[in-house]
Structure 1
């Protein structure tokens, strides 16, 4: 009887829906903080080697909050006294919550110069910036009004050790994180952005004191230093996958002939 009861209980448990996962994690290979393979850091010493190199990403539900943590390949510093534990990095976390082609946004905020494949259209974007939340929100409202309803700015973002983190209300992104698609874009915090750029730093043909190099002086190249790619397990093959995803071609007039197109990664 005891054995039969145990079997009956096991069968009942198998028939129940799986509990929603409250944490997902991704890894990224080191040494791929070069965009499409050619980008170089600015020359000023505040841009430490490895400081824009994503190593891991964790998303976890903690009570009524959804916390995002992004690791980098260098100890964080605050040379510009932003009082958040970091200064030079700026992280964009794009989330595809429904997995439906054509549902969501394929455009990115101004200053990234990338687009998303239709099957990877994003529904929510979390920005981790050392700028004050009010400044980031104002920039979004001014420069990306069509996207602002789906952009979330944590009230508190911090850097410690090699980790940048911030949390938003879990209710603002409905669903199960283990079923979502993610793409994480590493950029640099720019307090005096060019034109319509959303607090992001330019990539030029040649690197300068506060400009990345290895790209194009026009606005046809992806303004992206590192992303997740492949299976996001940290395998070295993902470096090529990143470079392929960020390939671009400029037209003679400096416009984008072929724009870098991003896809999501999924927890497995």
Structure 2
């Protein structure tokens, strides 16, 4: 009988505890500390527009380089395991100089650790070295274990282009992940691109033409031609799967999630270097969303690889703003048009990403990377809280969305944060009781992608898993009303126009120009009162990690294990 009880105790431990610990680790999908993206410039790549790439608003990252680039820390001239030890994302622009066998082995070992991102950029078959670059990319892709390849052809688009068919104005397809599509309204340059294909486990090449091919569940199209895409062949050999004259939506960028949890991105053109990379903002008169595409792709890959966590994403497609812009030339169209919002968790910080139609080139050199906007994020986490807008905004929040935290994001001139409750509007965290905290928020902006990143320690905000968010945008003016740019009935050089005269007389004209969610209609005063914002962006329910259990269930289950095991041991050892 003693043996039976003892075996029972051991059985409980061996069967239940592993399941619990597996669930706990599966739920741990974020990483603490700085995320490192390494760019390869050690294999003959051009450094064209690297400066634009490293200034993108990718949550929580720093950039390093293999090779040399002014301003970036070098990891060496050779890709080795020790140099990769702290790297989360490795990007190969088009490879002109072959990697050594030792370098490829190091990359594969690094990728096999899981929760890594590898981007392999190829090229078209154009020119004396086009096919060689394709083959270099494919050799690396094969060795690291992805099924994705660059077929040995080129694709052109006679309709959607930047002045010539080979200057493809590619699009983010509807089939792409939502985070990749976020805020993108314009095409992306793909200068003389190759086409991505799939090689199955038997070595058979398969088409990934959108609308015809069936994609495996772990393969994602990220960028493609329009339906007018046309396959061409500039040099022998012919393609493995795509034939000359084929038309349709051909993938230029695709990604595969490996069994290790790592992500491999393969592209027929490059995010940097190249003749003209993806990241271009304009080409031959065509306005482009290249920076936002590269930024979104990197952000999505970090989330998909489990390096960071996304809490929500939202878009505003209304394109409407409440007021006419001031008449000074710095106020270009789109400055006060919110188009996207997202919240990320990197394990240590919450990172808020705000997208606008146009950030404005920072004409007065604001330290935070912009000069003209005043953003506020209101956060509702529970009942109660504050229903007033931040000073100067002239808005109210509905009772059911009363905020516990408000984050104000302004250009960041130091003199403007000395008196947070008066003057010019600080970059600060506001608590519902009126407390204002400065110096704890990190802000950066990318004029290329027209996005602003705001990082706040998680310890300051608590759990935001089920929070509601309201994002407002006004004009920043150091000589305005608590940092907000004034409004009037008619637009003036430094004032917004279009307010009703009664709003001005009664001081109920909102100084907020756009809000997400809702748009301009929810900003209009009603019945001689300031506008009350009644909508928030809720968290989108994230899928539970496979096998994951809540901390409460784990805790209770462990207690039960201890009790059962204790009884078993006691019954096994007591005297008959």
- Are 1:178 and 2:486 matched, yes or no? no
Deviation, structure 1 residue 75: 4.5
Number of corresponding residues? 234
Deviation, structure 1 residue 28: 2.9
What is the TM-score of this pair, normalised by structure 1? 0.75
**Distance change in 2, residues 1:214/1:181 (3 Å):** same
**Distance change in 2, residues 1:50/1:223 (3 Å):** same
**Conserved in 2, the CA contact under 8 Å of 1:23 and 1:59?**
yes
**Conserved in 2, the CA contact under 8 Å of 1:185 and 1:228?**
yes
Deviation, structure 1 residue 33: 4.0
**Distance change in 2, residues 1:167/1:183 (3 Å):** same
**Distance change in 2, residues 1:190/1:48 (3 Å):** same
Root mean square deviation, CA, Å: 3.2
Q: Which string of whole-angstrom CA distances, capped at 9 and with x for unpartnered residues, describes residues 95-115 of structure 1?
A: 0122x1xx1100112211111
Match of 2:442 in 1: 156
Aligned-partner Cα distance in 2 for 1:138–1:163: 27
Deviation, structure 1 residue 165: 1.6
**Distance change in 2, residues 1:88/1:106 (3 Å):** same
**Conserved in 1, the CA contact under 8 Å of 2:344 and 2:352?**
yes
- Are 1:267 and 2:539 matched, yes or no? yes
What is the TM-score of this pair, normalised by structure 2? 0.37
Match of 1:188 in 2: 475
Higher relative contact order (CA 8 A, sep 6+): 1
Unaligned runs of 5+ in 1: 1-7, 230-240, 251-256
**In structure 2, the residue corresponding to 1:190 is in which secondary structure?**
strand
What aligned pairs does 1:35-74 form with structure 2 within 5 A after superposition? Answer: 35=322, 39-74=323-358
Unaligned runs of 5+ in 2: 1-15, 30-308, 541-576
Q: Which string of whole-angstrom CA distances, capped at 9 and with x for unpartnered residues, describes residues 120-144 of structure 1?
A: 1000011111123562352336799
**Distance change in 2, residues 1:214/1:27 (3 Å):** same
2:315 is aligned, of 28, 32, 37, to: 28
Match of 2:523 in 1: 246
Deviation, structure 1 residue 178: 2.9
**Distance change in 2, residues 1:152/1:106 (3 Å):** farther
**Distance change in 2, residues 1:31/1:190 (3 Å):** same
**Conserved in 1, the CA contact under 8 Å of 2:320 and 2:520?**
no
**Distance change in 2, residues 1:81/1:202 (3 Å):** same
